[in-house]
Chain A
Amino acid sequence: MAQKRIVKEYSELQKNPPLGMKISLPSEADMHQWQILIDGPKGSPYEGGVFTLQLSLPTEYPFKPPTLSFKTKIYHPNVTNDDKGSMCLGMLRADEWKPSSKIDAVLGFARRLLSEPQPDDAVEGGIAREFKENKKEFIKNAKAWTKQYAKK
């Protein structure tokens, strides 16, 4: 069931890719690992950068949510600042996930998060505080990281 649905979703996304995203499979044999290249949204401090994300689909998919992680370092309150770069919020949480949600929605959600970080649901407390209290500094740092790590 998982395999079939994943293939279907993958081909749909290939046919009709979301704005500013490139989706590919690092290994043709493994449909459960996807690579997403996402352009920093216009107007955000991530503009001009390209971020690599990894989407992992559990074997229990669609009953369990996929997990999304940034392979490119990013200065963002909702992404862990370690080599995992994991993000966990909203629809990706086990208790909020519904099997009827689709990967298309997950990716849209990730892109929206780049434009609008959610500091109240942050994993990086320091960055969240900066985002709330000193936006200028946050934008400066985020831009610097984008330049350094997310070059085209």
Chain B
Amino acid sequence: MSAQSYDTFILAFSDPASISPNPQRARIPANLSFEIFDDSHLRTLSTNNGGGDIEGLLYVPDLDPSDPCVNISTKYVPSNVTRFSDLPPVQYQYIAFAPWISAACTKSYLAAAQGNTAFMFYLPDNGNTTPPPVNDQTWNLNDGGQWKAQYKFPVYAIPGSEGTTTMQQLAQYSGNSSNDKIDSILSEFQFDSSDYVRLYTSFGTSGSNNLPTLWAFLLIVLGVVLLLIGLTSVTMHYFQRRHRRALQRRVENGEVDLETLGIKRSHRMPQAEIDKLPKYIYVPTNDTPDDKGLGQSSTPSSETASDNHTFFSQSSCTICLEDFIPKTTEVRSLPCHHIYHPHCIDPHLASRSSRCPVCMARVLPTKNEPITNAMVRAERRLRERQRLHGVSADGIDGTTWLTNFRRQLERRRRVFSAPGATSDTVQPTRSQIEMNAVAGRAVSSPLPTHTPTVMSGAQTEARTGEGRPPPADVTARRAHMNRRLSRMRGPERTLEDEEAERWARLPRWRRAVGTVFPGFG
């Protein structure tokens, strides 16, 4: 592991050999002794086996007396320098220290290292600059770099000037000098006179020192990212909620009607509810309504006779435009007091919408169904489309996630604006499918989403008889009409349904993104 910094200081410690009741260690402050700390000029030459803390007592290895390097080194290594024998033989780690004079001498020093944790070199003529890079010729030991594998400890190099100073200090705190610094330190820090005061070096490796900061940095980045995601999500949820509320308000104020826009499924009335609406025999305004003899109307008495005067002013049914015949025609009255032929209004209420065709008032009380994000989106797209309609057909949607909507909107637009589409494109296809379904029941349909789900024999009858004028007989005609209307009913799809289907088709991750960031598509 490469190191970024090193710290050489004076350490006082109890003699491990003495039977001291409480062994002590003390780092001697720099102002009382000496310290070199450098975090910018250290060079790592070999990272072998350098895991964990790399620190230990500093010493200069003993060379073989016959080695010529002994003489060469004298210039740099004082004779009274700390040797391995000057250190306690147990309990401590050791870091060898030597000048890098020549390839041969370095080899000798490396070979002489004992019980090493690391080796620290310095280039005596290197000044105070960072030693050359690892691949520099300086460090070539003429063995193709084999030494790095051979010696299982990391090797570092420090600047020349620092090395020279360290060497001098190593001579002073060796226990071999006449210097009284050791004794004064020992007495000042209340050590035993036989205890040690030596140089101690500790390397700040990226493993022990820098990784925590790296982790902290990563954690901070992660935290910031999470925070941003959270904030974005909250903001988007907030805006979605606001949009939902806004739409809710507009619906309540009657500015928009999601049902007629085809966004929300029309609320249809069950026949039982329709039967509860009062039926009367039509009487012109001035006469008194007669509700006797009408077994079908279950609660006619809930409406008083005087109320009925107002709405009996209608003289014809707005659906078929036929006049009501006084005292003969049976009429159905909605809560808004608009009246119709039962055979005109009932199918409308049952199959299309629970609203009065004239005033759009709801026949059933409004159910407060929640507005969904899908409805908000559908409504907005529809509005946008209406605004841009024709001006720029491709203007609003270039992105793929809009395509479904676009298709839907396109279809809607065709249905209510282009005359050809209603009768030529959509209807025939649909009737074709119906025919196919009736005839074969196994014909694959080109427009599966439009295929009515169930076909009954009665409907087939209605279809085949469609070309002919309706039967003259009243009951037969009514039956004919009912069949036709029930066929017309079909499964009406809404934008809301489309949205739900689109959602279901999305891959799971897209759904997750959509949930965290609503309104993102």
Contact = CB atoms under 8 A, between A and B. Distances in A.
Interface string A104-145: 000000000000000000111100100000000000000000
Contacts of A22: none
A74 interface: no
Interface string B213-239: 000000000000000000000000000
A84 B412 CA distance: 16
A9 B389 contact: no
Interface in B403-451: 412-413, 415-420, 422-423, 427
A94 B423 contact: no
Most interface-central of B260, B344, B418, B481 (chain A CB within 10 A)? B418
Given A67-B422, A84-B419, 17 more contacts: A3-B469, A3-B470, A5-B321, A8-B320, A55-B419, A63-B352, A67-B418, A67-B419, A69-B418, A86-B417, A88-B416, A94-B262, A95-B261, A122-B391, A123-B390, A125-B390, A125-B391
A92 B418 CA distance: 11
Interface in B253-279: 257, 260-262
A58 B320 contact: no
Interface residues of B, number: 38
Contacts of B390: 80, 122-125
A62 B260 contact: no
A60 B415 CA distance: 12
Interface residues on A, range: 35 or more
Contacts of B412: 94
A146 B418 CA distance: 22
A88 B389 contact: yes
A64 B358 CA distance: 13
B240 interface: no
A115 to B, nearest CB: 21
A88 B320 contact: no
Given A1-B319, A80-B390, A98 B357 contact: yes
A98 B319 contact: no
B93 interface: no
A5 B348 CA distance: 15
Interface in A1-37: 1, 3-5, 8-9, 32-33
13 contacts: A1-B484, A3-B469, A4-B320, A4-B322, A5-B321, A8-B320, A32-B423, A58-B423, A60-B488, A62-B319, A67-B416, A95-B257, A99-B319
Contact of A99 (B357, B413, B417, B419): B357
B419 A68 contact: yes
Contacts of A62: 319, 357
A87 B481 CA distance: 31
B48 to A, nearest CB: 76
A105 B391 CA distance: 27
Interface string A61-97: 0111101110000000000100010111000111100
B360 interface: yes
Interface in A31-59: 32-33, 54-56, 58-59
A87 B416 CA distance: 9
B392 interface: yes
A69 B470 CA distance: 29
Contacts of A32: 423
Nearest to B417: A88
B114 interface: no
B208 interface: no
A8 B319 contact: no
Contacts of B415: 94
Contacts, number: 98
Interface in B80-105: none
B329 interface: no
B490 to A, nearest CB: 10
Given A3-B470, A123-B391, A125-B392, A87 B357 contact: no
B318 interface: yes
A88 B387 CA distance: 12
Nearest to A12: B321
Given A59-B488, A123-B390, A125-B391, A1 B416 contact: no
A123 B392 CA distance: 9
A94 B488 contact: no
A84 B319 contact: no
A86 B357 contact: no
Most interface-central of A8, A69, A88 (chain B CB within 10 A)? A88
Contacts of A86: 417-419
Contacts of B322: 4, 8
Nearest to B338: A100
Contacts of A55: 419
B419 A69 contact: yes
Given A4-B320, A8-B322, A9-B321, A95 B418 contact: no
A136 to B, nearest CB: 22
A63 B357 contact: yes
Contact of B416 (A4, A80, A92): A92
A65 B418 CA distance: 12
A131 to B, nearest CB: 13
Most interface-central of A65, A69, A80, A99 (chain B CB within 10 A)? A99
Given A88-B416, A125-B390, A100 B348 contact: no
A8 B280 CA distance: 25
B318 A99 contact: yes
A80 B490 CA distance: 31
Contacts of A60: 488
Nearest to A84: B418
